[in-house]
Structure 1
Amino acid sequence: MASPLHPDCVAFLKLVEELGRPRFEDMEYAETRTLYAGGRKVLQPPSPEVAEARDLALPSGVPARLYRPMGSAAGEALPCLVFAHGGGWVVGDLDTHDHPARTIANLSGCAVLSVDYRLAPEHRFPAAVEDFGEAVHYAHVNAAALGLDPERLAVGGDSAGGNLAAVAALMARDGTLPPLRFQMLIYPVVEMAQTHGSYARFTSGLPLTDATMRWFRAHYAPEPASWDDWRASPLRASNLAGAAPAFVLTVGHDPLCDEGRDYAARLEREGVRVTHVHAADMLHGVMTMGAIIKPALSYIDMAARALRDAMA
């Protein structure tokens, strides 16, 4: 049985009900992007100041944004977190995750390279994996020009972004990407089959339900054959040993809860150093709801401090 929701989460759900916000699975995907982007002004606090926020483009043309934390010197070679936003591979962009990216930069003392990877259904699996991998490679190769330390790179993301980060960590372990020092997985998607028990527990009344996840999957990876690919379902990788140390946050009221907990447990079992925080009274998406759900910043702080320690 799930723990009771935090009062701030209850207040958020009441607000959603009062506003009559439609569910993603009842909309066209283009409409969901506008709705998701518009929620930022209501759900997130004002973005904090950073030393620099610079828009870039990867060689392929994929947009990115590089944040340097307050207090960093202009020529200082900083450790860097390459970050992928959540949104089911269908919604989200640099702006929807501007607040968490800036906050992580300031709290960790690391640069953050946020990636506006191509979205589905226009670009299905593995397009997002390819774009995120390109960003990691870009940060490494261009470290001197960007003011980064190529020996201190990390990956991270929330939800679908956590999926991309987990995959990148395995690619780095295998030598397909540059070596990584850390992976930050915020309520990640790690199993595309969507058969874990938490899918059956959370079928209504939450911003993310089993139906919403199936809608996202239908846009990103509609072919069941692709679900066996570890680049879609990193939990299905034959071996997790040797991946970068991990911080994994799972939340109790989330269809992704059980697969995230399984992934953290398997990382530990296979010898990866992992810090797993389970917030039993939180719901999916809390990282981008800090204006209403006050504990959100504390979880961002935990992740940022784990990143800072890994880069020390």
Structure 2
Amino acid sequence: MTSAINWEVTDFKIQGNDFVLFSNGRMQVPANVLIRAVNPVDSSVYTLTAAELARIQLIDYYVPGRELADGWKYTATENDFAHTMPGVKSAGHEENDVKNEQSKRYWVSTTKVETKLIGTRIQQPNGIWITTHSDHYDSHVTLRGSAAVHYNMNNVEFTREDTDQGNDWDQDNYYLTSKVHPFKKSELSGYHSPNHPNLGMRNAMKFWGGPGTGKRSTFTHYIWEMGPTTRVDRGLTHYDDGSGTHKPHKVNMVINERPYAMCFTRLSIKGYPGYSQNWWYNSWLRILDIYGNSGDFNLPRVSHNHLELTSRNTVSVAGSPDDVVFCDDHIPEGDLMPHGHC
């Protein structure tokens, strides 16, 4: 490593509160590194550039020779999940009052249920590594990974509401809520996108009522992003190529009426035989609470008239109903199953 100025560290430490965090790979807690450096030629204060500060690494205090790893990660980017455990008051940001001291804040996460002492290190331009586990500098923060919450049908509620109706249509909203910690966001797979050319079928997962089914009504199941209460226009407005129907039927529906909840809708409209072939997606979702704990759920095609939710890919491990899902697992694209028979 080379530098225009051969600076050297004169003070180096890591500080922060001793935190507990969920071992879900998403919850983050802060660790602050403080550093001072000088130009060894004349002992003048040297101010590290942003690029030089970014070379600061976090380490296992007991393994100072390599960067933090083995289920522990850190980043300079803060996410939007809570940074303190339930019932713990936020500690706030520590102030840096020492003259000429610079700071670098990192956010640490883990997938391990264990206690870890976190130190830090930086390599000077002369190639020497400076660590906080040495005779000159000795500091660490203690972090403890606590078992993550995994959501399944035992710790959530899935409820139906008679939301609204008209002369020839009926709307039921369904809500997925947590029995543990409030839900924050979701990742969805297997549905018509919010930009689908068929306005009335945007966010739709399943459709019943095609020719030959014997149904005198159409039934559409929708899935919604979490958010504030709003109204959307859906129904039999267009065909899938975006062209208008000969007899459009638009319903202005209210959704997301519950806070911290995932919303779904079953919409039935009478008197539209032959509008479309039946189709459905193999839809599923990942729900995340305010701490980053998660659970995966399927929305199987069981009935045209109601929605059903089941835990996804459940495996019994040591008496636990489900495997824990960590943040590095990604949801694949949903599979569209057109012209199905349900």
Bigger relative contact order, structure 1 or 2 (CA pairs below 8 A, ≥6 apart): 1
Q: Which has the larger radius of gyration?
A: 2
Query: Taking structure 1 as the reference length, what is the TM-score of the superposition?
Result: 0.25
- Relative to its length, the structure with more strand (as a share) is 2
- Relative to its length, the structure with more helix (as a share) is 1
Query: Taking structure 2 as the reference length, what is the TM-score of the superposition?
Result: 0.24
